[in-house]
Chain A
Amino acid sequence: MNQEFKKTTFRDDYTFYNSPESIRRFPFPFWEDKYMYSVNIEPHVKGPAGSVYEFPIDINEHYVSEMADRAIVLKEDPLRCQALPHMMLAQWDFLELLMTSMARDYPQWFSLTTEGDHWHWINKPLGIDQKFTFGDPSTLPQEPMEYIGRQCQGDFSIQDQRDGQLWMDAGIITTQADWSLDFDVGMNFMEWHGPVPLAHDMKVFDRALKFLLNLQLGQPVRRLNWTMTINPRLDTSPENFHKWGSDRTTVTPENVGDKVHLRVELQALFRLPRSNAILFSIRGYLIKLRELVTVPKWGRRLPRVLGSLPMELIDYKGITRYRDTTLEWLAKYDDGQPTSPGGGPD
């Protein structure tokens, strides 16, 4: 990809949109025509060139705009980035993973040179040139997780592993789907997934946890998760729910295509080497329904999936108020033709 970075907004005037290329590579999360809950974990291995899976860390045309939005969120609410004191080692692991991946996979934008503990990082799109000592937090303007987290798309949480559990003891979370890092920091895997309906009874989290506890170094895994958002707002945090919640009542048959967005999270999990912690990268992708239906297969499939969603999940994902209007709008894109298996465009 050698596109220019877009200058768009995710708040106020909401100028965000996807280029045709960006639409084609959107990670459409539905593999079949009806909704199925599954853990769907697969190895996070290199995917086709140009796809969101090409590199472990995906940087795309929205990079500069998303980083600007993150800076606004952190300015208004510094608690969106927190690390408990025992997570410093994991913070350095995190910084190393991001800097080495970004510099290796996007050399036109990022560079990293190291000589022992003396590191030199250059981020051209954001105009950053930083020399620092690896392992010494006083040589960076912020703690390592915040420093590099402000320069990489996606939210990140870091899980400490103890007593057969994973504990969310650090994170930089500014684009979350309605959960609070400030409240959840320090919780274990079962506790922070507490509010998720249905899955506990299905033992989904027990199985997922058991799998993750044995996650191996150098063998990251990934899965997709999704929700829907009104307006291309990245900061759909509970902290600001009283500010954005009313957006859900603004959907009309006329504005569905521009207002309603499918929001997909590419969640990747990496074992971190020094700390034995696990990094969750939660890389969000937004797409307007008007953009989504330009891929005929997705236009056919989305209404079929939304129509088969259990009530508990509609409620949990906050779709209740605008589901019917959205389904009516989508109906005209479903001509009843069969769809091919898998999520990608035909």
Chain B
Amino acid sequence: MSGADIPVRVARVETVAERIKRIRFVPVDGRPLPTFSAGAHTVVTMRDGAKTIKNPYSLMGPLGDTTGYEISVLRTNNSHGGSQFVHEKLFEGAFVTISHPSNLFALDLRARKHLLIAGGIGITPIMAMADQLHQIGTPFELHYSTRTPSSGAYVDELKQRYGRKIHHYQTVSARRIDLANLLSQQPLGTHLYVCGPDVMIEDVLRLAREAGWPEQHLHAEHFTSPRGGLPFDVELAKSARTVRVKEDESILQALESAGLEPPYLCRGGACGQCETAVLSCDGNILHYDHYLTDEEKEQGRKIMICVSRIKGQRVTLDL
């Protein structure tokens, strides 16, 4: 995937809310960037000293702007994530590379209406969706909840553009979103999209199912950040090598640091590109992805190396 990466320069870094920065990338060679679809993400590759950080971020739009891409990054306490680097060390003028956009959270354009629900930093792909729906003129509503008024990035911007289609809620105040009511009032043919913290996504999907919404009409951005864990060894059957996976890195990251180039796309356990066969494992596989079926997870013969780990000493992969 590195072969198709695009070198870009950080043209602007802007603090838009508590712990949230908006970054604008522009192409180094000045040639137009590819147009992208609402819900698409790009994988940003950053160098932090000797360490390479590759993180997926949703593209916010505006759609059709081929002179630059914009992302928003929430600073998290996750020590190995890229957010600290972005907040502390990524300045205007820095050079990074980005992948071609790809989309695992696309709009279903057959819908007669779209119900967009965002929590916190989950607003980023939803903003591109609102932009798209506004352009093609399909009815939509956007319900956006944030922790506090000041953490609500982009509320004013959205209200200015889309007026009464935007509904803002502060979870610390009493004005919480009445989901059950909202879900019961939508016309037949509505599709729902949710992006935000895992807990919120699970809540919204559960309530929608309980309100009788069919699975086919529910869409969620299921990016998972790789989480740390105990270290273990990965034995590579084909190349006859052993690579140590440390506490704060994923198998994919460890393999890349060792100079290997396994295929990947989303780095968030959603797309299936990095699916790898497990030949043996002396412990349990900790499946953190949203791609494999429950049955496949149970069988333990496959692993998504971008997010999943093992609890054990050693796993042998068909690589």
A→B interface (CB under 8 Å): 84, 86-89, 93, 135, 160-163, 210, 213-214, 216-219, 271, 273-276
> Are B272 and A276 in contact, CB atoms less than 8 angstroms apart?
no
| B34 lies within 8 A of chain A by Cβ | yes
Do B36 and A273 have beta carbons less than 8 Å apart? yes
A70 to B36, CA, bound (A): 32
Asked if residues B34 and A273 are in contact (CB atoms below 8 Å), the reply is: yes
How many chain B residues sit at the interface, stated as a range, is: 20 to 34
Q: Which 9 A-B pairs have the closest CB atoms?
A: A86-B109, A273-B35, A276-B37, A217-B100, A276-B103, A86-B110, A276-B106, A218-B100, A217-B34
- Residue B136 lies at the interface, judged by CB distance under 8 Å to chain A: yes
Interface residues, chain B, with chain A CB atoms under 8 Å away: 1, 4, 34-37, 39-40, 63-64, 100-103, 106, 108-110, 135-136, 216, 265, 271-273
Taken together as a complex, chains A and B put the C-alpha atoms of A171 and B242 apart, in Å, by 50
Q: B4, A219: Cβ atoms under 8 Å?
A: yes
Contact status A273-B37, CB under 8 Å: yes
Is A214's CB under 8 angstroms from B109's CB? no
User: What's the nearest-Cβ distance from chain A to residue B151, in Å?
Assistant: 30
- List the B side residues contacting A276 at CB < 8 Å: 37, 39-40, 103, 106
User: In the complex, given contacts A213-B272, A216-B1, what are 10 additional A-B residue pairs having Cβ atoms less than 8 angstroms apart?
Assistant: A86-B109, A162-B106, A214-B271, A214-B273, A217-B34, A218-B34, A274-B35, A274-B64, A276-B37, A276-B39
The residue of chain A having its C-beta at the shortest distance from the C-beta of B111 within the complex is A86
Q: In the assembly, what is the distance between CA of A271 and CA of B100, in Å?
A: 11
Whether the pair B109, A160 counts as a contact (CB closer than 8 A) is: yes
The CA of A28 and the CA of B267, in the complex, are separated in Å by: 40
Contacts of B1 in A (CB 8 A): 216
CB distance from B136 to the nearest CB of A (A): 7
Q: Are A219 and B216 in contact (CB under 8 A)?
A: no
Give Cα A151–Cα B63 distance, bound, in whole angstroms: 28
- Taking CB atoms, residues of chain A closer than 8 Å to B63 are 274
State in angstroms the CA–CA spacing of A162 and B37 once bound together.
Answer: 14
Bound together, the chains give a CA A87 to CA B34 distance in angstroms of 20
Q: Which residues of A contact B110 (CB under 8 A)?
A: 84, 86, 162
The verdict on A210 contacting B272 (CB below 8 Å), with A216-B102, A274-B63 known, is: yes
Determine which residue in A213, A219, A274 has the highest number of CB atoms from chain B within 10 A of its CB, and name it: A274
Can you offer 28 A-B residue contacts whose CB atoms are under 8 A?
A84-B110, A89-B136, A135-B135, A161-B106, A162-B106, A162-B110, A163-B216, A214-B265, A214-B271, A216-B4, A216-B100, A216-B102, A217-B34, A217-B100, A217-B102, A219-B100, A273-B34, A273-B35, A273-B36, A273-B37, A274-B35, A274-B36, A274-B37, A274-B63, A275-B37, A275-B109, A276-B39, A276-B40
For A274, list chain B residues within 8 Å (CB): 35-37, 63-64
Given A273-B35, A276-B40, A276-B106, A217 contacting B101 (CB threshold 8 A)? yes
- Please name all residues of chain B whose beta carbon is closer than 8 Å to the beta carbon of A161 when the two chains form the complex: 106
A217 to B108, CA, bound (A): 19
The answer to whether B273 touches A218 (Cβ under 8 A) is: no
* CA–CA, A86 and B114, complex, Å: 13
- The answer for the CA separation of A273 and B101 in the assembled complex, in Å, is 8
Q: Is the CB of B108 within 8 A of A162?
A: yes
User: With the chains together, A214 CA to B4 CA distance in Å?
Assistant: 14
- Nearest-neighbour CB distance to chain A for B276, whole angstroms, equals 14
Contact for B4 among A88, A210, A218, A273, CB less than 8 A: A218
Tell me, in angstroms, the Cα distance from A214 to B103 when the chains sit together. Answer: 9
- CA–CA, A218 to B110, complex, Å? 26
- A49 vs B273: C-alpha distance in the bound complex, in angstroms? 34
Within 8 Å by CB of B136, from A88, A163, A216, A273, lies: A88
**A214 and B272 contact, CB distance less than 8 A:** yes
Q: Report which residue of A84, A160, A217 has the largest number of chain B beta carbons within 10 angstroms of its beta carbon.
A: A217
Bound complex: CA A135 to CA B136 (Å): 9
Name B109's closest neighbour in chain A (CB-CB).
Answer: A86
- Contacts of B109 on A, CB cut-off 8 Å? 86-87, 89, 160, 275
Q: Which residue of B lies closest to A167 (CB)?
A: B110
Contacts of A273 in B (CB 8 A): 34-37, 101
Chain B residues lying within 8 Å of A88, measured Cβ to Cβ, are 136
Query: Closest residue to B102 on the A side, CB-wise?
Result: A216
- Scoring B1, B34, B110, B265 by chain A CB atoms within 10 A of each residue's CB, the highest score goes to B110
Q: Which residues of B contact A84 (CB under 8 A)?
A: 110
Closest A residue, CB atoms, query B110: A86
Quote the shortest CB–CB distance from A213 to chain B (angstroms).
Answer: 8
- Cα A165 to Cα B185 in complex, Å, equals 29
* B221 to A: closest C-beta gap in Å: 14
| Nearest-neighbor residue (CB-CB) of A164 within chain B | B272
State A273–B34 Cα separation when bound (angstroms).
7
In angstroms, how far is the closest chain A Cβ from the Cβ of B155? 26
Instruction: Point out the residues of chain B lying under 8 angstroms from A162, CB to CB.
Output: 106, 108, 110
**Of all chain A residues, which has the CB nearest B191?**
A162
CA distance A162 to B100 in the complex (A): 20
Q: Whose C-beta in chain B lies nearest to the C-beta of A277?
A: B37
Q: Give Cα A52 to B186, complex, Å.
A: 51
CB distance from A101 to the nearest CB of B (A): 14
Name which residue of chain A comes closest to B263, CB basis.
A214
Residues in B whose Cβ lies below 8 Å from that of A163: 216
A residues less than 8 Å from B103 (CB atoms): 276
Residues of B within 8 A of A210 (CB): 272
